[in-house]
């Protein structure tokens, strides 16, 4: 546990000092969502109808942006080998990386969403549900993304390859997250979809940690 905290502190410190990455992700997210009212017209009814999908698709794409750097820096400067050789399971390192990734991308994306809800004419209850789906769904994005990032280590053009590997796996999250907000906006119960998102997250925790660790060990050989 102390190793987890130590690794998390290092990741956050690196993220804070290298700055920009997390701001760029949020900037991309906000700009990309704002493009849609220009593209499909400012009709409030249409925007409110497509808003949950827009926010979620762009959140997925924004989360992808920072994934290829997740392990790449440590891989290139030799830190990864040393991290593998520390007397702790590699899963602890992965857990710290994923937590740091979520804190520097998932959380800022959530923070930016209320602003976008205003642009897209999403009402307050729907925004509440949207934020809940983001809270449960974005950690899963970081976990699945971590597996992709570990798998493409050492490959050329890894960033594109990660998208191809990981985006299809994000589809179930997209379906149930948008489904929950849609249901809420039509006055139907939406807790079922949220529970499924929660279940996906719980399943992704052990799978994501284990698979990332295995991929990292392979990359270091």
Partner 1 sequence: MSLFAAENLTCVRGGRAVFARLSFSLEPGTALFLLGPNGSGKSSLLRMLAGLLRPISGRLTWAGQPISDDPEAHGARLHYVGHHDAVKPVLTVAETLHFWARLHGGDSESRVQQAMDRFAIKRLADVPGRLLSAGQKRRVNLARLIAAPAPLWLLDEPSVALDKASVKALEAAMAQHRAEGGLVIVSTHAEIDLPEATILRLDEFAAPSQVAA
Please identify, among the stretches 57-65, 76-84, 98-106, 127-135, the one whose residues bind partner 1 according to the rule CB under 8 A. Answer: 76-84
Does residue 7 interact with partner 1 by CB under 8 A?
yes
Does residue 153 interact with partner 1 by CB under 8 A?
no
CB of 74 to partner 1, least distance (A): 8
Does residue 70 interact with partner 1 by CB under 8 A?
no
Name residues contacting partner 1, limited to 84-123 (CB under 8 A). Answer: 84-89
Out of 42, 44, 78, 154, the only residue in the binding site for partner 1 (CB under 8 A) is 78
Does residue 191 interact with partner 1 by CB under 8 A?
no
- What distance in Å separates the CA atoms of residue 15 and residue 156, rounded to the nearest whole number? 24
In the complex, the residues that contact partner 1 under the rule CB under 8 A are: 2-3, 6-7, 10, 13-14, 17-18, 73, 76-79, 81-89, 220-221
């Amino acid at each position: 546990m102390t190793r987890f905290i130590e690794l998390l502190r290092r990741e956050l410190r690196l993220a804070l000092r290298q700055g920009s990455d997390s701001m760029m992700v949020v900037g991309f997210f906000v700009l990309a969502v704002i493009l849609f009212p220009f593209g499909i017209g400012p009709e409030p009814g249409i925007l409110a109808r497509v808003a949950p999908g827009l926010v979620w698709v762009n959140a997925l794409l924004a989360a992808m942006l920072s994934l290829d750097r997740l392990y790449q820096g440590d891989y290139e400067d030799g830190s990864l080998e040393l991290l593998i050789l520390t007397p702790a399971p590699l899963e602890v390192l992965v857990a710290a990386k994923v937590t740091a990734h979520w804190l520097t991308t998932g959380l800022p994306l959530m923070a930016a969403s209320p602003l976008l809800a205003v642009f897209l004419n999403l009402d307050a209850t729907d925004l509440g549900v949207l934020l809940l789906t983001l809270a449960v769904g974005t950690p899963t994005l970081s976990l699945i993304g971590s597996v992709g990032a570990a798998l493409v280590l050492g490959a050329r053009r890894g960033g594109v390859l990660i998208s191809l590997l990981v985006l299809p796996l994000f589809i179930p999250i997209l379906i149930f997250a948008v489904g929950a907000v849609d249901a809420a906006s039509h006055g139907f119960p939406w807790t079922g979809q949220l529970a499924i998102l929660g279940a996906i997250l719980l399943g992704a925790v052990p799978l994501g940690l284990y698979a990332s660790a295995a991929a990292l060990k392979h990359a270091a050989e």
